[in-house]
A and B are shown apart, each in its own frame.
Chain A
Amino acid sequence: MSGPSDAPFPPDGIADTEALQRQLEIFAGDVGRLYREQKERAEQLEDALSTIKEAYLQTVRSLAFVVEAKDAYTGQHLERCRVYGLALMDAIGVSDDFPDAEYGFLLHDAGKVGVPEGILGKPGPLTAAEWRVMRTHPIIGYQILQGIPFMTNAAEIVRCHHEMWDGSGYPEGLRHEEIPLPARVFAVVDAFDAMTTDRPYRAALSIEHAAGEIELMAGSQFDPDVCEVFVPLCERLPRYVA
């Protein structure tokens, strides 16, 4: 027999602000907890991803070293190409557009596994027929990498690393922007490293000398825009790569 005034609850339409506040704080706590959990999960994923990336890079390195061991040993050439190439991509501002470029820099000569050792290691000049075989290595390398996920740009670098800006390169004689940008970048750093390290037939050139040579070939062998970024950069490149 109780009237509405005896009800333990406030009449409909009037908020019990204390109850509302308690409820709100519980909801707020839920949001904070979800935020924290989601953040921890994101951190774990990031850690796992960076481990996988490191393992992937190390695997690519090993593959590249296998080819290098078969070809003439050129010291840390592959690793320097990677580091110089990344620095140049960074300076141009396109690193994020080609995340797999470093794999291409390392694997540029992967197709040499398909070139007979008699040709690779021949002491004297190659015959025209031998050159034809030698010039297949970008395509062989491209075919090796073609189907691998996350290797699209890398495969293009491998395919085009002997193309030249003016169209005089191989295998396809591509010119200007027909050559993918990372391959144009690679051409410059590869030549630079070749010039600035000792070779059996000549001593290393100075950085200034090598930079001068690159400038001379801007517009013929190399993309002039890439050269323009590279020449001031090359002084600051790390000299020794572990």
Chain B
Amino acid sequence: MAERLVLVVDDDAAIRGVIRAVLEADYFHVLEAPDGHTALAMLGESANGDRPTVLVLDVMMPGIDGIEVCRQVDHDSTRVLMLTARNDDATRLSKEAGADAFLAKPFSAVELLDAVESLLMR
């Protein structure tokens, strides 16, 4: 696993761009995927040495949604931080799908960094 490699999965390019900017400033390497299908393909093709340590995963996406992606991830090698909308039951569903942490949108940059950093330390 590449220690500080994060895959950001969100269908909104603007959100991905902001998340990337925050994470890169804290010395993370950032990959992006615009949908669940691409994300799973990227994870599947990555060798052990360059598999993202943390997945920042939006729940609401067209096609394969975040919960389904989370269910299919290899949780031994990748931790999942779920981005949810407030007051939805996605948090419960994500938990069942094996998500390690949650952030409700809109979130603060510091919350995001704290969450990703603490997933690394586990």
Contact = CB atoms under 8 A, between A and B. Distances in A.
Contacts of B23: 32
Contacts of B21: 24-26, 28-29, 32
Given A32-B26, A35-B25, A25 B109 contact: no
Given A35-B109, A35-B110, A35-B113, A28 B18 contact: yes
A17 B17 CA distance: 13
Interface string B10-28: 0000100111111111110
B119 to A, nearest CB: 15
Contacts, number: 46
Contacts of A33: 25-26
B14 A21 contact: yes
A32 B18 contact: no
A31 B27 contact: no
Q: How would you classify the secondary structure of chain A's contact residues: helix, strand, loop or mixed?
A: helix
Interface of B is mostly: helix
Interface residues of B, number: 15
A70 interface: no
A21 B19 CA distance: 12
Contacts of B26: 32-33, 35-36
Contacts of B22: 28-29, 31-32
Interface residues of A, number: 13
A32 B17 contact: no
A202 to B, nearest CB: 51
Contacts of A30: 25
B24 A32 contact: yes
A32 B117 CA distance: 12
Nearest to B20: A25
A26 B25 CA distance: 10
Interface in B4-62: 14, 17-27
A29 B25 contact: yes
A188 B7 CA distance: 56
Interface of B: 14, 17-27, 109-110, 113
Interface of A: 17, 21, 24-26, 28-33, 35-36
24 contacts: A24-B17, A24-B18, A25-B17, A25-B18, A25-B20, A25-B21, A28-B21, A28-B22, A28-B109, A29-B21, A29-B22, A29-B25, A30-B25, A31-B22, A31-B110, A32-B21, A32-B22, A32-B26, A32-B113, A33-B25, A33-B26, A35-B109, A36-B25, A36-B27
